[in-house]
Amino acid sequence: MSDFKGRHFTGDIILWAVRWYCKYGISYRELKEMLNERGITVSHTTLYRWVQSYAPEIEKRLRWYWKPGWSSSWQVDETYVKVNGKWTYLYRAITKEGHTVDFHLSRTRNQKAAKRFLGKALRSIESYSHPNTLNTDGDKAYAPAILSLKKDGLCDQSLNQRQVKYLNNRIESDHGKLKRLINPVRGFQSLKTAFATIRGFEVMRMFRKGQLNFWLSGRGSLAEVRLIERQFTF
């Protein structure tokens, strides 16, 4: 069965629109104008529904391709995202090479949230790919969260935590590039819609960072399009 059954546009057009929105940091109205110039008349609310439906699916279906291999250390940090007028916390982890490991949106910034995110990130890859060291900021929630993960057997007892601010410069820079995609949204209405959209932003950032280059064989954006389209049934 087609993944686009019941839609008024073909799957290639829908994925094209979702990919552009998540890659270029534009508003829905700007994307509507771009599509109108190409003879495709669609409302900005329809574009919103497409992104909510297919952006998380693109991230999910490409997960096998983008999950990084072993790295000796991860950089872990959180940044702020406004949801329904309130600040929420986007937890993120990247390898020392800059490859995205995982991300998680939370209403709270505490030990429970830190443990939930780190546990999710560690479970998402094989245990032999776990790092030796986690570089974190000065947030005091990380130390007890890591200790709790060790007690639960979710990470190796030898996992080290290192709190050296300059060692997290790479993830701070990575936050900034992701926020340039988030800023045109001008606030999300719910945690669910925020995370659905951010999943699309994150996976398109991975393409830009070269995280999926092995599967593109150096063929650029057309190979990117084909890799995404191969994950769906038309």
Q: pLDDT per residue over 153-163, tens digit each?
A: 999 999 999 99
Structure letter (DSSP) for residue 38: T
pLDDT digits (tens, 9 = 90+) for 25-53: 999 999 999 999 999 999 999 999 999 99
What pLDDT shows up at residue 87? 95
Residue 1 included in any domain: no
pLDDT digits (tens, 9 = 90+) for 173-202: 999 999 999 999 978 999 999 999 999 999
In this structure, are 168 and 124 located in the same domain? Answer: yes
In this structure, are 91 and 164 located in the same domain? Answer: yes
The residues, any chain, with a CB within 8 Å of residue 50's CB and separated by 6 or more, are: 14, 17, 18
Angle at 111 between CA 55 and CA 147, to 5 degrees: 110
In this structure, are 129 and 84 located in the same domain? Answer: yes
Sorting pLDDT into bands at 50, 70 and 90, what band is 164? confident
Residue 205 included in any domain: no
Can you give the residue range of the structural domain that contains 47? 11-62+212-229
In this structure, are 111 and 91 located in the same domain? Answer: yes
Residue 5 included in any domain: no
In this structure, are 80 and 171 located in the same domain? Answer: yes
CA atoms 105, 108, 110, 111: torsion sign: negative
Structure tokens at 227: 């890799």
Beta bridge partners of 161: 134
pLDDT digits (tens, 9 = 90+) for 107-154: 999 999 999 999 999 999 999 999 999 999 888 999 999 999 999 999
Q: What total of structural domains would you count in the chain? A: 2
In this structure, are 143 and 217 located in the same domain? Answer: no
Structure letter (DSSP) for residue 188: B
pLDDT tops 90 at residue 205: yes
